[in-house]
Structure 1
C-alpha cells in the first residue's frame, strides 16, 4: 500500500464550500480509479504545533505505485488539483505531498 498524504496551505480567504466540494469529488474517485482504495480528509489539528501553515489535509490509499501513477495522471484528479492550487493562493508550493510505502 502507498499512503499519499497531502497537506494544504490554504489562503486566508479560501472558500470552504469549494474545499468541501473538491473533497467530495476526490472521494468519488475511490474504486473508480483502479487501485484507489481509500480517501480520508479533515482539518489539521496540529497537536504538536509543527504545521500551523497547513490547516487541512487528506490521505489517499493506493494498492501500489502503478495505481498512484494512474491517479496522478487522471484528468479528473488534475482538474481537482488545479482547483486546490487556487484555494492555496495560486501557488502549488503551498501544497505538501508525501508518499509513504507501507
Structure 2
C-alpha cells in the first residue's frame, strides 16, 4: 500500500470513529514513520476529497524475481494488514452510517 493511501485510509477510519483526523492522530496509526510534510499533504488531500480513500488503489508490491530477498513472516503480516485495511475502513464507515 502506498503511504499516501494509508494516510487516506487512516483519515477515513478516524472520521468513521467520529474523530477529526489530525496529523498527530494519523502519525500515531501509521505502520511506518513518514515525514511530517508527507502526512500533512496526505491529510490535506483527503480533506479536499474524503472519498479518495475509496477510489485510490493501494499498491502492494510482490516479489517478482529470485534476486530479491525472500519474504519474511513480518513481510507477509504487513501484506495482509495492507490488504485488509481498505475493508476495515469500509466497515468503520458503514458502522458510522448505521449509527446515524
In terms of Rg, which structure is larger?
A: 2
Instruction: Output the TM-score relative to the length of structure 2.
Output: 0.31
Higher relative contact order, chain-length normalized (CA < 8 Å, sep 6+):
1
Structure whose residues are more often helix by fraction: 2
TM-score, length basis structure 1: 0.31
The structure with the greater share of residues assigned to strand is 1
